[in-house]
Amino acid sequence: MAEKTQRIGIFDSGLGGTTVLKEMIKSLPNEDYIYYGDNGNFPYGSGKTKNELQKLTERILDFFVKNNCKLVIVACNTASTAAIDYLREKFSLPIIGIIEAGVKIASKTTKNKNIAVISTKFTAESHGYKNKAKMLDSELNVKEIACIEFAQMIESGWDTFDNRKELLNKYLSEIPKNADTLVLGCTHYPLIRKDIEKNIKIKVVDPAVEIVERATQTLSSLNLLNDKKEKGRIIFFVTGETYHFKPTAEKFLGKEIEIYRIPK
pLDDT in tens, 89-148: 999 999 999 999 999 999 999 999 999 999 999 999 999 999 999 998 899 999 999 999
Find out whether 188 is annotated in a ligand binding site.
yes
Rounded CA separation 25/231 (Å): 9
Confidence of residue 182 (pLDDT cuts 50, 70, 90): very high
Find out whether 220 is annotated in a ligand binding site.
no
Find out whether 86 is annotated in a ligand binding site.
no
CATH number belonging to domain 99-207: 3.40.50.1860
Q: What is the pLDDT of residue 164?
A: 97
Give the up-direction half-sphere exposure of residue 138: CA atoms within 13 A in the CB hemisphere.
1
Choose among 46, 33, 34, 36: nearest CA to 13.
36
Look up 69 and say whether it is catalytic.
Answer: no
Beta carbons within 10 angstroms of residue 217's beta carbon: 11
Catalytic residue among 61, 69, 72, 76: 76
Rounded CA separation 205/195 (Å): 14
Domain boundary assignment for the chain: 7-97+209-261, 99-207
Confidence of residue 85 (pLDDT cuts 50, 70, 90): very high
Same fold flag, 7-97+209-261 and 99-207: yes
Q: Which residues contact 112 (CB under 8 A, 6 or more apart)?
A: 178, 180
Structurally, what CATH architecture does the domain formed by 7-97+209-261 represent? 3-Layer(aba) Sandwich (3.40)
**pLDDT for 1 beyond 90:** no
Give the up-direction half-sphere exposure of residue 185: CA atoms within 13 A in the CB hemisphere.
36
Find out whether 218 is annotated in a ligand binding site.
no
Rounded to the nearest integer, the mean pLDDT of the chain is 97
Look up 186 and say whether it is catalytic.
Answer: yes
Enter the pTM of the model: 0.96
Contact assessment for residue 98 and residue 81, using Cβ atoms and an 8 Å cutoff: no
Catalytic residue among 186, 208, 212, 224: 186
Q: Which spans in the chain are helix H?
A: 18-27, 50-66, 77-90, 98-109, 121-125, 128-136, 150-156, 164-172, 193-199, 208-221, 245-253
Contact assessment for residue 155 and residue 15, using Cβ atoms and an 8 Å cutoff: yes
